């Protein structure tokens, strides 16, 4: 049987929307788009050309918070914890850039979705 995993997981209209938002049209980018939107954990992307970053910024534009005109937060930002807490408590998206070899252990529970909801 010829099972096409891409067409099984996402329809052509969604792929078209992603392309209009800036995702490149090559098959690998489409597969990465599926991983970003369908994965059970938050994705970590290796993006040397910046194409995925542009796409995610466009895709999440309405849900990104800005600080002093910047929607991206660097891993070395001294207020990263505060910004992460703000976004999580308000249901906003947060894009963290500049992650190299090591990830701050503070992010481990978030990346693994080991989050306890309180209140609201």
Which tens digit of pLDDT belongs to each residue from 45-67? 778 888 888 899 998 889 999 98
**Predicted model pTM:** 0.79
What band does 34 get if pLDDT is binned at 50, 70 and 90? very high
pLDDT, tens only, 86-115:
998 898 989 999 888 888 888 888 888 887
What band does 10 get if pLDDT is binned at 50, 70 and 90? very high
The pLDDT score that the predictor gives to residue 49 is 84
What does the CA dihedral 62, 89, 102, 112 come to, rounded to 10 degrees?
-100
3-state secondary structure of 62: helix
**13 half-sphere exposure, CB direction, 13 A CA radius:** 0
Structure tokens at 10: 């996402």
Structure tokens at 38: 């369908």
Mark residue 59 as left, alpha or beta (left: phi above 0; alpha: psi -120 to 50; beta: remaining).
Answer: alpha
């Amino acid at each position: 049987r010829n099972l096409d995993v891409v067409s099984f997981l996402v329809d052509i209209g969604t792929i078209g929307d992603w392309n209009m938002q800036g995702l490149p049209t090559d098959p690998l980018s489409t597969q990465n788009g599926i991983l970003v939107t369908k994965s059970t954990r938050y994705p970590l992307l290796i993006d040397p050309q910046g194409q995925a970053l542009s796409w995610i910024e466009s895709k999440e534009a309405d849900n990104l918070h800005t600080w002093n005109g910047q929607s991206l937060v660097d891993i070395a930002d001294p207020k990263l914890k505060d910004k992460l807490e703000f976004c999580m408590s308000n249901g906003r998206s947060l894009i963290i850039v500049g992650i190299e070899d090591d990830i701050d252990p503070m992010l481990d529970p978030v990346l693994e979705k080991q989050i306890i909801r309180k209140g609201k």
